[in-house]
Structure 1
Amino acid sequence: MDTIPRSAGIGLLVYAVGTTVGFAGAGGPGGDYEPDIVAGYVDPSHYATSLGFWYLGALAALGLLAFGHGLRRLGGVVGETAWGLSVAGAAISVVGAFVGGGLVVALAEGGDAVRQGVPHPVIYTISEIGNLLALCGPAFFVGVVAIVLAARAGLSRWLAVFSVVAGLCGILLPFYFTIPVYLVWALVFGGRLARGSRRTEGADVVLSTTPA
């Protein structure tokens, strides 16, 4: 019987909650270009808060290492694929957090010369790139993991279908409207692993758990 430590579920939950809160709290401009939002973002009054949330997001992304390491217990192609994709997801999310946070640092350290000299559309562009890397980049990799698990890990039928749908939503996260489905899956799947749920009937690989 293949076992997955509860720490894998905890890691997925930390990633899902922490990166989402970090992204939302940092408030980097994205989506439709709105001059007022960008103008507010270059205001020094929010720099410390924004940078703190970017750090939160970067740290939370490391939860994917625990998630992938736990799934590696499945062994074979499934385990190694899940581990590799999870490492890639953590790395790209940290890079994104430092792109977004680096923009804040540049604004703070550059002073008025940077705040007034860099056009707002450029600020928006850099911020949007950071957002995509921090939030959508890891979702792409975790979405693929979800589909691999649905196909090869012997999940119950409802969870396998949910994982395929959520995996596609993760891959398509740059469209943003898919975020709720993807996040609900991460919370459900992470919660099941963290809780130590198991299924034994009709599975090629059983997703049971061992203590973290």
Structure 2
Amino acid sequence: MTIVLTVDDDPAILRTLGINLRARGYEVEVASDGRSALEIVHERMPDVILLDLGLPDLDGIAVLRQLRSFSQVPVIVVSARAESDDKVEALDLGADDYVSKPFDLEELLARVRAATRRSVSGAAEPVVQAGGLLIDTADSRVSRDGQIIHLTPIEWKIVSALVRNRGRLVRQVDLLHEVWGPGYEQETNYLRVHLASIRRKLEPDPGRPSLFITEAGLGYRFNPE
């Protein structure tokens, strides 16, 4: 059974998450402070951690820093700290995802599912189906109903990077580095232009993208759900 550790100093949030996660078949461990969370991790490694940043003893950032010194367990930060600097610091330290409070429960559960799939598989499957598309990362091909959809080399690099990290936020700077190389950290307009073209080709409704999602000010996410 998949184990989810929820770390939050708000009893109501722990109770809500516990009820909903258990109802969906997860085993749930809870901690109301950072030290308790680390003790649980050392005793019984969870499959996913939901981590608040505003904890009463060890700050969530400190917990994340300690976690990443010995484990790559998926960590989804769930925090009321909506400032971009907090998000960037958490992601830089190795958080897999960041959800701001107040959060949509179904969206958070979808991100838990995505994190557990990545944890179990360990690597992306070569062929992904989403939104009527067949994306073959090994063959560098995208098709719909058997019809090949032409992507430019740059578009394919972007699509491939997002699909490999499906369900997970890919920061703008990381995407720019992977596609264009060092020295392009400020060229976020490149991503906007090429993502618009990718959406015109691949989204069922380009005006309301459901596959290639923009996380404002942070980066992009491929959403196969």
Q: TM > 0.5 between the two?
A: no
Q: Which structure: greater strand fraction? A: 2
TM-score norm. by structure 1 comes to 0.24
Structure number with the higher helix fraction is 1
> Normalization by structure 2: what TM-score?
0.23
